[in-house]
Amino acid sequence: MRKSFIYTIIGIALATVSCSDMYRPTKDKVSDDDIFSSSSAAQVYMARLYSTLPIEDFKYQASWGVTYNSWLGSFGLSGTGEAVSREGLCHSFTGEDNMYWGAGYTLIHDANHLIETAPNYSDDLGDAVVDELVGQGYFVRAYTFFKLAQRYGGIPLTTSTIEYSTEKEEMEVPRASEKDTWDQILADFDMAAQFLPEKASAKGYATRFTALAAKADAMLYAGSVAKYNDNVQGRLTGIGEKTGNRVIGFEQSEAPEVSKKYFEEAFKAGMAIVNSGKFSLYRKNSDKYQNMVDMWRDESSTENIWVRYYSYPTLTHGLDAYSSPCLWHSPLSGGTCPTLDFVELFDGLPRYDDGQLRVTDGDTYGEGNYILYDSPYDIFANAEPRLRAYVILPNDYYKNRLIEVRHGIYKGTQTSIQPIANYDYGHAAESYSSLGIADLSIGNSRTENAIDSETNMTLSGSCGPFAHDFEATVTGFHLRKYLNPDMADSEIHEGKSDQPFILYRYADALLAVAEAGVELALAGETTVDGEDVLAQATSAIRDIRDRAGADALTSDLTATVESRNIVRRERRKELAFEHKSKWDIRRWRVIDEDNRDEFWGETRDASLFSNGTRFRFRGLYPFYSTSTGKYFLDEHFQCLADKEYDYHPVDYYWALPSGEVSKSKYIDQQPNR
């Protein structure tokens, strides 16, 4: 079937979908006989399901929700600390403007219809095609349940087709308990893995290994919630008033065993991928940096498990237009600005005793004199290659162009320069221009990059922070991961990008094995299905760190919080800018003020970046010194497009759409809302 015809049919099918009622079925324009009489017709049905899956890729913004829109495409702005932006898109992940609910149940209805109907057409389609269609139905249902459960906890479990009826009560399904919800997700992913083939029948479709990867992802979430809810004030559990079901959280007496069960399932799913021998970490280029640049666009990668494909001009996104450095301003740019807090996760950086990046010769970044560099990039000379592949560092090169980043020019005569700002949280919002330093010239024009007459240098370089809200970096860093370095400059415009988005890859499986393995060891389990959980966890982390060029793991992982944090830190690094960190810190329950010391996957003094329920992130700002002809670097809270985040324990579970609750006798609102 020609692609143009498929897209036409998909467009017509999508136009028939109504999300106004949670249980209203799609008004089909064709009969089941028309859909399932041939495999090509069934593919159109499948294409419609996949086009409405709640996946998070280039067309997802956490603040907006599942809108399938790549406007202002950027990553990591959802209070994870990975990145910030000058736009109003930066928010703690406490909800989405477009709440995901009705569209999910329309999709679940169609998945149920596929599961129930496809077996009736085995004579027309053949057993293999029917099995795959059934498997796809289970996968779509499981994945949609999973995405709903992440947001709300216990949800209505509609596991059979509910036909539209004038008797509304016949269509009502109450919220299940959170435990029953995760058990259903587990069962559905297992069914999907049972029926799906090992090789996709069409690009972008789920396989057995996709189902296993998604299962591992879901079970890590469920296991973490069951365990770490206890660390949050009030235990984050409650009974629905309408049903009496425990719609959020778990019974305290059963939580440890439930958690262990889910971690076991995550471990087994990850190991099934590992032991299949069909995947490996991408290692085509011996240069570790270039290898990790290439891997995002190589469709033949042995690492890819599930990929969302794009193709110009029919299906595109806008990442390069919105997140490239300001040299490619067209009309926007610099939308993903990694933070210094994130950069500090990586190995090979000079540090103070507390782990923060060393920029002075004192004991902390507010003491001593600045260390001087020929270029701001020099401080990263020994950093692990993965960092440079993910982040465009100040004064590094991208597309053979110098990404020149300055925040200003310092004209003081001294050659030993002391820290210029206040570095406590109370002064976090102070901009450099507000300090009144006579010898400091700061770029402050939104329309032009002023030239300093004495040095003939632009105050902010070609890509530095011009001023509040301008489309240049506000932290000193730019996104590199997923940008297309081979894209012609003339093509970097809205809706011209078509690189694929990797939804699950072999690294996800390894990290699932590692995290679940350490969690099981902490719970007293040493083996699962004959596999030594800590040995497998250690092997997985070593493999990932070796590919990344990070420091070698010097000892095996053990049943300790320290080893758990090694794994978490590796997840924070490896999976950054993939829409996964926001779910990780949520399931680990480390965003609220009582648990924020572990926000970064390692123990950090949260008082350095937060105050009560509120917290901030930092940038790295290079200044050129005329007296030395060198650069000094100042680390400071983001003071351009000033942003402070807020989070409360209640935010770990979002409120259900009020309209769904008010019109129903059975659907409970969250107990704490």
Task: Please give the full DSSP string across 473-538, using - where no structure is assigned.
Answer: -SSS-EE-TT--TTS-GGG-STT-B---EEEEEHHHHHHHHHHHHHHHHHTT--EETTEEHHHHHH
- Taking residue 102's Cβ as centre, other Cβ atoms within 10 Å add up to 18
pTM to 2 decimal places:
0.94
Kindly write down the DSSP assignment for every residue of 274-300, as one continuous string: HHH-S------SSSHHHHHHHTTT-TT
What b/e string do you get for 3-27 counting C-beta neighbours within 10 Å, with b at 16 or more? Answer: eeeeeebbeebeeebeeeebbbbbe
Q: What is the 3-state secondary structure (H, E, C) of 310-340?
A: CECCCECECHHHHHCCHHHCCCCCCCCEECH
How far apart are the C-alpha atoms of 213 and 242, rounded to whole Å? 35
How far apart are the C-alpha atoms of 611 and 589, rounded to whole Å? 17
Q: Which of 571, 550, 548, 486 is nearest to 287 (CA)?
A: 548
CATH number for region 3-61+97-302: 1.25.40.890
pLDDT of residue 10: 36
Query: Strand, coil or helix: what is 129?
Result: helix
Instruction: Collect all residues with Cβ–Cβ distance below 8 Å to 113 and sequence separation of at least 6.
Output: 25, 161
In this prediction, the residues of the chain whose per-residue pLDDT falls under 50 are 1-28, 467-468
pLDDT of residue 168: 61
Distance between start and end Cα atoms, the chain? 50
How far apart are the C-alpha atoms of 218 and 504, rounded to whole Å? 12
How far apart are the C-alpha atoms of 586 and 652, rounded to whole Å? 6
Work out whether strand 451-452 and strand 440-442 pair parallel, antiparallel, or are unpaired.
Answer: unpaired
Instruction: Collect all residues with Cβ–Cβ distance below 8 Å to 167 and sequence separation of at least 6.
Output: none
Amino acid (1-letter code) at residue 569: R
pLDDT of residue 509: 98
Q: Where does residue 230 rank: exposed (0-12), middle (13-18), buried (19+ CB within 10 A)?
A: middle
Work out whether strand 645-646 and strand 83-84 pair parallel, antiparallel, or are unpaired.
Answer: unpaired
Q: Which of 481, 314, 266 is nearest to 391 (CA)?
A: 481
- pLDDT tens column, 442-481: 865 555 567 888 889 988 888 888 644 568 899 999 999 9
Stretch (H or E) spanning 622? strand 618-625
Segments making up each domain of the chain, as ranges: 3-61+97-302, 62-96+318-499+614-647, 501-591
Contacts 24+ apart (CB under 8 A), 233-237: 233/592, 233/594, 233/649, 234/649, 234/672, 236/589, 236/649, 236/652, 236/653
How far apart are the C-alpha atoms of 155 and 185, rounded to whole Å? 11
How far apart are the C-alpha atoms of 383 and 235, rounded to whole Å? 40
pLDDT of residue 454: 86
Record the tokens describing residue 384, joined without a space: 């692990």
Instruction: Taking each helix axis as running N to C, give the angle between helix 255-276 and helix 208-228, from 0 to 180 degrees, rounded to the nearest 10.
Output: 150
Task: Tell me the pLDDT of the chain averaged across its residues.
Answer: 92
Is there a contact between 137 and 114 (Cβ–Cβ < 8 Å)? Answer: yes
Query: Strand, coil or helix: what is 41?
Result: helix
- pLDDT tens column, 158-172: 999 987 665 666 678
Query: Strand, coil or helix: what is 458?
Result: strand
pLDDT of residue 169: 63
Is there a contact between 62 and 580 (Cβ–Cβ < 8 Å)? Answer: no
- Taking residue 479's Cβ as centre, other Cβ atoms within 10 Å add up to 27
∠ CA 420-421-425 to the nearest 5 degrees? 160
pLDDT of residue 331: 80
How far apart are the C-alpha atoms of 377 and 386, rounded to whole Å? 15
Record the tokens describing residue 515, joined without a space: 């995290």
How far apart are the C-alpha atoms of 660 and 172, rounded to whole Å? 11
Question: What is the percent of the chain with per-residue pLDDT over 90, rounded to a whole number?
Answer: 82
